[in-house]
Amino acid sequence: MTVIHIAAVGDILMWQRQIHAAKVAGQNKYSFDSMFQPVAPFLRRADLTIGNLETTLSGRESTYQRRQPKTGWPMFNCPDELAPALKRAGFDVLVTANNHCMDRGISGLRRTLGVLDKVGIKHTGTYRTYAESQQYLIKNVKGIRVGILSYTYGTNGNKVPADARYAVNYIHMGKIKTDLKRIKQKSDVVIVVYHFGQEFHRYPNARQKALVKHAFQNGADIVFGVHPHVLQPTTLQWVAQSHGNKKRKFAIYSLGNFISDKMMSDPYSASGVIMNLQLQKQSNGTVTMQKITGIPTWVHKIHTKSRVKFRVLPVRKYLKTPDGLLTKSDIRTMHTVNRNTSVHLKV
């Protein structure tokens, strides 16, 4: 019998103020480690930790955040130093299929994957070559083979070149069904990460529910949703298998923001959850879900004379033992986050 612990978080966003906060004074380099230091122990203790990288790593620029001329949508890029900081924080896999993966074009998409490779973070959802797009990400975690797939609803109108259509996994039910059939043959557990839903809506829409149902019916065991930037509910379902038995499957429609700025003060968009799943493989090869828990997180902004500093806090730990950087207002907000998370997700 083997037991593994999988952790997952939502959107990793890097706005201009966050990048400015990471700038090392007087030097042309950046350090993001302090942003993740409070929550890193909770990420590192998992056997497999997954997040959604919602920025590109496209190389040095004077201004990392741009606006798309036609739509006004933000277009993200971040210094390479983010990648090793995420590795040190405990991330093993980053999904990269999202609406910002083409923010610096196909060259930025490809460079991002190269930076992740250099620090040893696995990735899926976007690809540099056709051959790479045909290789499924399957992580061997203590003898349990975990297959991971990632898809996005779109790329904010930034089109993939006609000769590189393989570069981004878009949400197409036919492709998802085919991918699930193939990866299931090589995996003990299959995770699908969907970049879908409506931003800042706290409940899933019909499309999200249909896509989760489709994934479950075609072999996915776990679905993690990202993109809405706020938490959405979980669902635990018994799904009939081809041999007639039923299997328990889990989804969370949105994990919320892991780290972001967007200058929004409401606790919903400044919070997320570390979703923890304990899986057990029996001697006959069957893998079952044993325990599901969540750790509420909150992005704490510390205002100084020169800049705003950011850190991701595990809410319950810091409510129990607040440090000197938290104000009374911060503590009240964390109580709200903890209450909202507990009620909304039943964790």
| Domains of the chain (ranges, CATH numbers) | 2-343 (3.60.21.10)
Cβ(23)–Cβ(32) under 8 Å? Answer: no
CA distance 10 to 326: 24
Identify the helix (H) or strand (E) that includes residue 336. helix 328-345
pLDDT of residue 343: 87
pLDDT of residue 140: 97
pLDDT of residue 109: 98
Which among 229, 261, 258, 227 is positioned nearest to 18, based on CA atoms? 261
Q: Helix (H, G, I), strand (E, B), or coil: what is residue 301?
A: strand
CA distance 331 to 34: 20
pLDDT of residue 306: 84
Rg (C-alpha) for the chain, rounded Å, is 19
pLDDT tens-place values along the chain, 347 residues long: 899 999 999 999 999 999 999 999 889 999 999 999 999 999 999 999 999 999 999 999 988 989 998 888 999 999 999 999 999 999 999 999 999 999 999 999 999 999 999 999 999 999 999 999 999 999 999 999 999 999 999 999 999 999 999 999 999 999 999 999 999 999 999 999 999 999 999 999 999 999 999 999 999 999 999 999 999 999 999 888 777 788 899 999 999 999 999 755 577 999 999 999 999 998 888 899 999 999 999 999 999 888 899 999 999 999 999 999 999 999 999 999 999 998 888 76
pLDDT of residue 275: 98
Q: Helix (H, G, I), strand (E, B), or coil: what is residue 52?
A: strand
Cβ(272)–Cβ(287) under 8 Å? Answer: no
What are the residue ranges of helices labelled H in 39-125?
A: 40-44, 82-89, 105-119
